[in-house]
Amino acid sequence: MKFKLEATAPDSAARAGEITTAHGVIPTPIFMPVGTVGSVKGVHMRELRDDIDAKIILGNTYHLYLRPGLEVLRKAGGLHKFNSWERPILTDSGGFQVFSLSANRKLKEEGAYFRSHIDGSKHLFTPEGVVDIQRVIGSDIMMALDECAPGTADFNYARKSLDLTHRWLKRGWDHFNATEPIYGYSQTFFPIVQGCVYPELRKESAKFVADLGAEGNAIGGLAVGEPTEKMYEMIEVVNDILPKDKPRYLMGVGTPANILEGIDRGVDMFDCVMPTRNGRNGMLFTSEGIMNMRNKKWADDYSEIDPNGTSWVDHEYSKAYLRHLFVSQELLAMQIASIHNLAFYLELVRQARKHIIAGDFASWKKMMIEKVTRRL
């Protein structure tokens, strides 16, 4: 993987760059649609590619390991061939999913023991094992196994959690460097900075991660219950230390405003289930604000979903029709909303990139924050 830094905003830490992988070039800042089990819910690969123009999508190690399983993925030739996505793929190591199974997992020095949410079967994720699993998946960018501590964790818990994450990281990094890709193209390993909401732990973790010299780095353990301002503070603390010539990936964040604030603080890559999950529940993020499509006010509004939208669905359908679909519990409602929201997120980061390069990102961001947080 290669990263080229193209521009930095004159009045901000915001950056525009370009990541080159074996499956294509990714302009940054970038938003990555979440395809947990190898699909972005309700959205065809053709729509992701041709309409939304997603440059990279995510898969999840935990879910893909359990279903369809490694044998099926290996026989298919990896996830790219299995799901017919020819562009880059990033896979999360499954650490966050195991963390979410707090009642059904145990963390030990050797790794994370957990029970499958599907059938209750017992499994063990080790730092080395998740590298091997991601080799089989064939992702362009793979993540280290870590523990994602709750945002409300006390200092002692956060300290022990970080120490374990660092020991796991060293093992995973060594194993990655001792193994080879399966399908004939290169893969990249991103370590993850942890440390909860404690600046001294975040600084220590950022230094530990930076010293490995990986091709890119991630910031994890945020947007997990801590106050939003604390999240922004931790991003600043970490990005002061992470190398400027490597891409920085903020995991699992977030709202359009969160993304703009992250870009402002020097983050290059984002992912979140919010555009599709919230879309399926009737929430649309638009160029003028947030709409709840079940509200009665849209019942006879025959204007376009988003006159400034970049997707065909924005101009093909009216607000009234989309509300009717939601009230009628039609599956098409969820598809339209998911396509719209993803297209909006991708256009938001495209515009951010454009304004970083033009040199007026700060003034544009101030105007956009007011718009994307407005309730219509």
Our answer to whether residue 11 is catalytic in this structure is no
What gap in Å lies between CA 22 and CA 260, rounded to an integer? 28
From the candidates 51, 140, 271, 306, which is the catalytic residue?
271
Our answer to whether residue 271 is catalytic in this structure is yes
From the candidates 92, 140, 264, 314, which is the catalytic residue?
92
Are 96 and 253 in contact by the 8 Å Cβ rule? The answer is: no
CA dihedral sign of residues 146, 151, 153, 159: positive
CA 30 remoteness from chain centre = 10
Omega prior to 88 cis, within 30 of 0: no
Phi-psi region of 140 (alpha: psi -120 to 50; beta: other; left: phi over 0): alpha
DSSP result, 280-302: HTTEEEETTEEEETTSGGGTT--
Burial of 360 (0-12, 13-18, 19+ CB in 10 A): middle
Nearest 10 degrees: Cα torsion 298, 304, 305, 307? -130
CB neighbourhood size of 144 (10 A): 28
Active site residues: 92, 271
